Amino acid sequence: MPVILNPENMPTESSGEGWTKISLAGLANTGTSAIAARRWSLKSMAAGPEQRHKDADEMLYVISGRGAIVVNGERLLLEQETVLWLEPGDVYQLIAGDDGLEVLQGYAPGE
């Protein structure tokens, strides 16, 4: 059965200085842990927390803005519509450019 989620079903999962992580889909609002989707919003020049999913491939899609991502110590540039595929165990951190950064994150959580 299809599930439609509206903004009121998408809670802020965590936030920090200049960044917010919103849970778009996951166990709490879909009833399944088969896939998780989050939206990262970073204000101008903000850096998100360091992230790592040890058991899951992960996809990041830049919705808007520009910035960079540091993956395992390597800095890569990000711009609108960039897609980045990460392997299990990659350690990364998002860093927004002057106009901020909006990123869609998708992965399949481990059991």
Tell me, rounded to whole angstroms, the distance of Cα 70 from its chain centroid.
Answer: 14
The vertex-55 CA angle with 2 and 71, nearest 5°, equals 105
pLDDT tens string 18-30: 999 988 877 666 7
For 42-100, the pLDDT digits (tens) are: 999 999 999 997 888 999 999 999 999 999 999 999 999 999 999 999 999 999 999 99
Burial of 41 (0-12, 13-18, 19+ CB in 10 A): buried
* Domain positions in the chain: 10-107
Q: Tell me which fold the domain 10-107 belongs to.
A: Jelly Rolls (2.60.120)
